[in-house]
Amino acid sequence: MARVVARDGLALEELYDRYGRPCYALARRILSDEVLAQDVVQEVFLTVWRDASRFDVSRGAFATWLLSMTHHKAVDTVRREENLRKRRGSAEQLELREVEGPTVHEEVWSGLRRGRVVAALASLPDAQRHALELAYYGGYTQREIAGLTGTPLGTVKTRMLAGMRRLRDQLHGLGAAAETDTEFGATS
């Protein structure tokens, strides 16, 4: 990141090579639209280029910052493009299907990481998982989730907090471990 701050374009390319794929996968998952997902990822990396100094390592890892930004911009976009909403968020959306492109080597690394996260999600009670998936992958607000699921708003909030606490406990250390794992494509 220090190189990006110093306006080293190659450094940004290296960051893209490392993080572009998970950013794109996340944006595409939220938007269900490849072109809009590309727009979001491009905007994210150009924001990194323009405002690299905004990244504060004392407040968290670079991957966390980058993926949070990707999520935020994708959710903004999906709310603008209301008709794109596919009312997704159920566990079925996480079913595996083959995709073209990544090498098997990359697939092994990302597969291991993905396996952990999918397992952690699957371990949540259905109601907690559903609420979190609707918010994270669907871009719905807590109030919208309450309406969608016919659940009191307070219950939705409580479920999301409980689910997030359990995920935090189960995934504790995974991000930190990946920070030292360049092949994972997780951090700077």
Residue 55 found at the interface with another protein (CB under 8 A): no
With CB under 8 A as the contact rule, the residue among 31, 52, 124, 167 that binds another protein is: 167
With CB under 8 A as the contact rule, the residue among 31, 52, 75, 124 that binds another protein is: 75
Residue 139 found at the interface with another protein (CB under 8 A): yes
With CB under 8 A as the contact rule, the residue among 3, 5, 64, 148 that binds another protein is: 64
Residue 32 found at the interface with another protein (CB under 8 A): no
Residue 13 found at the interface with another protein (CB under 8 A): yes
Least separation, in Å, of the C-beta of 83 and another protein? 19
Residue 147 found at the interface with another protein (CB under 8 A): no
- The site string for another protein over 91-130 (x = CB under 8 A, - otherwise) reads ---x-xxxxxxxxxx-xxxxxxxxxxxxxxx---------
Q: DSSP letters along the chain, please?
A: -HHHHTT-HHHHHHHHHHHHHHHHHHHHHHHS-HHHHHHHHHHHHHHHHHSGGG--GGG--HHHHHHHHHHHHHHHHHHHTGGG-----SGGGG-----SS--HHHHHHHHHHHHHHHHHHHTS-HHHHHHHHHHHTT---HHHHHHHHT--HHHHHHHHHHHHHHHHHHTTTHHHHHHT-GGGT---
Residue 84 found at the interface with another protein (CB under 8 A): no
